[in-house]
Amino acid sequence: AQSVSQHNHHVILSEAASLELGCNYSYGGTVNLFWYVQYPGQHLQLLLKYFSGDPLVKGIKGFEAEFIKSKFSFNLRKPSVQWSDTAEYFCAVNAGDKIIFGKGTRLHILP
Amino acid sequence: DTAVSQTPKYLVTQMGNDKSIKCEQNLGHDTMYWYKQDSKKFLKIMFSYNNKELIINETVPNRFSPKSPDKAHLNLHINSLELGDSAVYFCASSQVGGAGNSPLHFGNGTRLTVT
């Protein structure tokens, strides 16, 4: 069965720290991968997506993610986080007709 | 100018009642979805419609019935509400049928509280 695993449930960092959030997926077909962000009290917004080509994709607000096919991973990174990055982050993978989400990682940035 | 709009934003009701949540998208997308987000923020797909046709129906109680009068609207009707139905329900749409490589555009969510 298709699945998405996010290993970090809750991450706390200080401003200017570097960030890496792990995401692994399980799906036998060609994958399209996404990271979404949900700011407190808001809906989910697309951060970045990978469809094909360069496995290192850049998204909004300085985020990037790297698709490593051999590891079935799509980790999210940001070199220097800001307080405004406090949010819930969801990794997602398309699986046939639908997009499946991971359980999310709550990121809390200390000012 | 909201791309995906859902109403109401908040819904508080008692067990046993029937309620509806409405969703409309003005993006011209072919596919619309309902997702349920529980108290632990876990997002789970419930239904998907492609151009008014049901294409995904996950393991959801029969009390939940989606209705799509046209491809721009996907409403969710819930009968005999239970405490466990309390959650945030998100409507979403995507350009290509079956999601594929087309990202989702989410509405602002409806927080349903069943007392």
Q: Report pLDDT digits (tens) over A52-82.
A: 889 999 999 999 999 999 999 999 999 999 9
Nearest-Cα distance to chain B for A107, in Å, is 13
Contacts of A32 in chain B (CB under 8 A): 100-101
Contacts of A98 in chain B (CB under 8 A): 33, 45, 48, 56, 98-99
Successive 10-residue mean pLDDT values, chain B, 115 residues: 89 97 94 91 89 82 93 95 96 74 88 97
Mind giving me the DSSP string for A81-104? --GGG-EEEEEEEEETTEEEE---
Contacts of A46 in chain B (CB under 8 A): 103-105
Closest by Cα among A5, A2, A3 to A103 = A5
